[in-house]
Structures are given as structure tokens and as C-alpha cells.
Amino acid sequence: MRKWISFPHKEGQISRQAHADLPEQAIYEREAGRSGFFGPAAHFHHQHPPTGWSEWQGPLRPRAIDLNLQNERSDLPWLTPAFLHNHHCQMRLWQLDQHMTELMRNADGDELLFIHEGRAELYCDYGHLTLETGDYLVIPRSTMWRLEVIEPLKILMVEATNDSFQLPDKGIVGPHAIFDPAMLDVPKIDDEFLAQQGETPWGVNIKRLGQMSKVSYPFNPLDAIGWHGDLAPVRINWRDIRPLMSHRYHLPPSAHTTFVASRFVVCTFVPRPIESDPGALKVPFYHNNDDFDEVLFYHAGDFFSRDNIEAGMVTFHPCGFTHGPHPKAFEAGLAHKKKFTDEVAVMVDTRDPLELSEQASALENLDYANSWQVKA
């Protein structure tokens, strides 16, 4: 058994409440925390912005990758290199312009698909489901599936390697907060699914230990006429997520957790009112997330804590340095210029260090680390 060393202590000029009513002499708060936002934490009050560096050297630098410049297209999603990966998680942006002519089956872990652009019909072991822009789709490990494209697709794919996606424990707010599980849609054995069955030969591409195998059938193996149980792909759209809010306190990103795996979490930032209490922070607080790497995929809207970030881009903040809002966003927050956020973004926080692929490095904005500098 282990227990965190805990000795709540106060030193110098402080706020009584984290993220609110900061001392006038030090408007910059920095949180150093463990276990994401669930462990012990210390809150520092600084006279200068904790991100006010003048130069960056070395590989730890924050990174911004423009995946809009990625050109790879393939019927087989795993031919698209993962832009970030570790032993427990792989992230890739898969682009698909035409119907898949073979089935997929990931024997390495669950897949989470986020439909960044496009529409498609999903056919899988469990039936048929129409996918729209903004949908999340959880595909259980070893499920056979394929897509028929209605509109060209860009899909953020997150693999829980040797693992599964589950729902977070919502604690005192109850199981129906953020989204009611009744909002989850599952595939149907409907007329469209039955119509695609037949004796036409089909191939199934199976990924296991990162290697590909192919099984050929003289018929369509998606030939179920029914199923029952409590395991199935599930879909929910970001528009069905009702975020936790507090008008007096800026909630940490963990309050927006959508799915959890054993070694990482997936959070969704959706439009919400900005805190209205005069003493409450109006932008994300500066923080050291010293146990997790942080990845943000920007889907839509105006990303209020960042400059020069567009939909389809990714930011990567490895653990080990302080990060937070850009200077203009911080000043706008002090002035309470915005009353509502309109951003939509997917965040993946991983307990284990992520590696950036060579292909993604070629799409990097090398000046991103300087974007925290105050411009004269």
C-alpha cells in the first residue's frame, strides 16, 4: 500500500481558493500537480507569467503539428502512420475518400474514431450505423467493420493498445452527468445491414502486434441476423455532451473526461459559458502536468486559449514543463472579453511518454514554442 505525503501548508501571500481571487501583486497562478488533476497539488503565485521564457532548446519543447498538410490516403487505416504513439496508445489521422472494399479487425485493442470531417455508413459484426461529423465511435477489440463513404472522411483514430475504452466514474454528480448513457447509439440489424449480406467473397485485414494478416471468405462474414448482450460499438456526438460548469471556478480538464483507458484518458472540450464570478480565472490555469503528456486535437471553433491554431491541427505538450494560455488569451481573460467559448477539441492525456513520428515532425510549426512570448 502507498499513500501520498500530505501536509497542507500555506506560505507567503496566497489565495484561499485555487484558481480564484489571486493576490493583486501576483496575478499568475501555477499549479504543480500529480496523477493528472487527481493527486496532491501546490499552487504558486508568480509575479511573471510562468511561460515567459525567452528561448527553448532541447527535445522537450511544446509542439504544434498541422495535420491538414498530411497527404496519406488508404482503405487500410493502419497504413497511415501514427503521428504520436507509445506502448499503450496510438493516434493517427486517417483520410478516406471511397468505400472500403475489405473488412478491418484490430486484434491489438479497442479503437476510438472521432469523425473530424465527412459522413459514412458503418457496417460491422453488430449491424449498421450512420456516422456524422462530430461523432465518436468506440469499436471493441477484434470487431469486424468497414465504412461506405457518403462524404470524404477525416478521422482521428485513437487505439487503446492491449486495452479497452470505458466510461469515467462520474462520482458525486452521478452517472447521467456530462452525457446520459442512454444517449449512446449502437448498430442495428436493419434492412441496410441485411441487404449488404451475400455470397460475394470478402477479405478481412487483421492487425495483431502491429503486423497485418488477411483472411479471405467466399461470402460476406457480416452475416448476423441478430445478437444480444452488453458488448457493442457505441456512438455519441460531441453535441450530445453537456459539460460540467461552475460560474465561480475554472474546472480542470479532468472534469471533461469522456472515455478512459488504463494508461490514458480522452476528454472533450465543447462550447460552454465562461466563468462569470469577478475573482474566478476565465482561462485555463498555468500548470505542470508532471505525470502525463498532453495532446489536443482541434476540431472546430475559436480556440480561446491559443493563437494561430486552426481546426485539424494538434498540439503536443510533453510532461515536464509549465504551460497554459497564450499572452493575448490571458489578457482577454483578465478583461473578461468573451462570455462563451465556441471551441470543440479532443484531448488525450497519456501516463506514458509519447513519441512523435518522422512524418508528423515534418508538419511541425517550429516557432510554436515562441508563441508564449509577449510581442513588443
Separation of alpha carbons 348 and 84, rounded Å: 11
Instruction: Please write the tens of the pLDDT for every residue from 138-183.
Output: 999 999 999 999 999 999 999 999 999 999 999 999 999 999 999 9
Q: Give the whole-angstrom CA distance, residue 248 versus residue 115.
A: 33
- Cell 514543463 sits on residue: 321
Q: Grade residue 309 by pLDDT with cuts at 50, 70 and 90.
A: confident
Which of these, 158, 111, 151, lies nearest to 131 by C-alpha position? 151
Annotated binding site for Fe cation: 287, 293, 323
Q: What is the mean pLDDT of residues 301-327?
A: 85
As a whole number, mean pLDDT of residues 90-107 equals: 97
When pLDDT is averaged across residues 106-128 and rounded to a whole number, the result is 98
Higher pLDDT, 325 or 212: 212
Residue 250 annotated as catalytic: yes
Confidence of residue 376 (pLDDT cuts 50, 70, 90): low
pLDDT digits (tens, 9 = 90+) for 186-241: 999 999 999 999 999 999 999 999 999 999 999 999 999 999 999 999 999 999 99
Of residues 85, 88, 250, 326, which has the active-site annotation?
Answer: 250
pLDDT tens readout for residues 35-73: 878 888 888 888 888 888 888 888 899 999 999 999 888
Report in angstroms the alpha-carbon separations of 297 from 42, 115, 147, 238.
28, 12, 23, 14
Please report the domains of the chain, with CATH numbers, ordered by start residue.
28-64+241-372 (2.60.120.10), 73-238 (2.60.120.10)
Position 375 pLDDT exceeds 70: no
Cut 0.85: pTM above it: yes
* Annotated binding-site residue numbers for homogentisate: 323
Those residues with Cβ within 8 angstroms of residue 211's Cβ, 6 or more apart along the chain or in another chain: none
pLDDT tens sequence across 8-39: 888 888 888 878 777 877 778 888 888 878 88
What pLDDT shows up at residue 117?
A: 98
Strand, helix or coil for residue 128: strand
Element (H, E) at 146: strand 144-161
d(Cα 75, Cα 319) in Å, to the nearest integer?
Answer: 35
Residue 372 contacts residue 51 (beta carbons within 8 Å):
yes
**Which residue has 441487404 as its cell numbers?**
195
Cell reading at 49: 507569467
Question: What residues are paired with 236 via a beta bridge?
Answer: 136
Q: Show binding-site residues.
A: 287, 293, 323
